[in-house]
Amino acid sequence: MNVIRTIMNVLPEKQKEVLQTLILIVEPTGKEKGCLSFGIYGDVENENVFNLISEWKTRKELDHHMKSARFGVLLGTKSLLAEPMKIQIFTISNTEGMDAVNTVRKKMKRIYSI
C-alpha cells in the first residue's frame, strides 16, 4: 500500500477558495482505480493548514493519479499558499489493526498486575 500526504499552509484570505477546490477533487479522486481512501483534514492548531491523505493499492496507481489533471489542479493552488506545499509518499508493507492494540494492552495488564 502507498500513502501520500500533502500538507498545505494556505494564505488566510484564500482559505475558502482552497477548501472549495479540495472539496471538488475529493469525491472523484476517491473513485479512481486503486484509491482506497482520500480525505482532507484540518489542523487543530492552525485553521489555515490542511492535510490531504490518500491511500493507494499500488505505486503504479498512485503514479497514475499524480499524472492526472486532478492532481495538477492541486499543484496549481501553489499561488494560494503561505509556504510551499509539502508532499510525503510512504510505502507500507504491513499494516495491523485493533488486534495488535489488544495484544499489547493484554501484555501491559499482565505486567502491572504482578
**What CATH number is attached to the domain comprising 35?**
3.30.70.100
Please give the average pLDDT of every successive group of 10 residues along the chain, which has 114 residues: 97 96 93 96 96 97 96 95 98 90 81 60
Give the count of domains, the chain.
1
Q: Which domain holds residue 95?
A: 2-112
pLDDT at 87: 98
CB 24 within 8 A of CB 31: no
* Helix/strand/coil (H/E/C) assignment for every residue in the chain: CEEEEEEEEECHHHHHHHHHHHHHHHHHHHCCCCEEEEEEEECCCCCCEEEEEEEECCHHHHHHHHCCHHHHHHHHHHHHECCCCEEEEEECCCCCCHHHHHHHHHHHHHHHCC
Q: How many residues are listed for the chain in this entry? A: 114
pTM exceeding 0.75 = yes
pLDDT at 110: 66
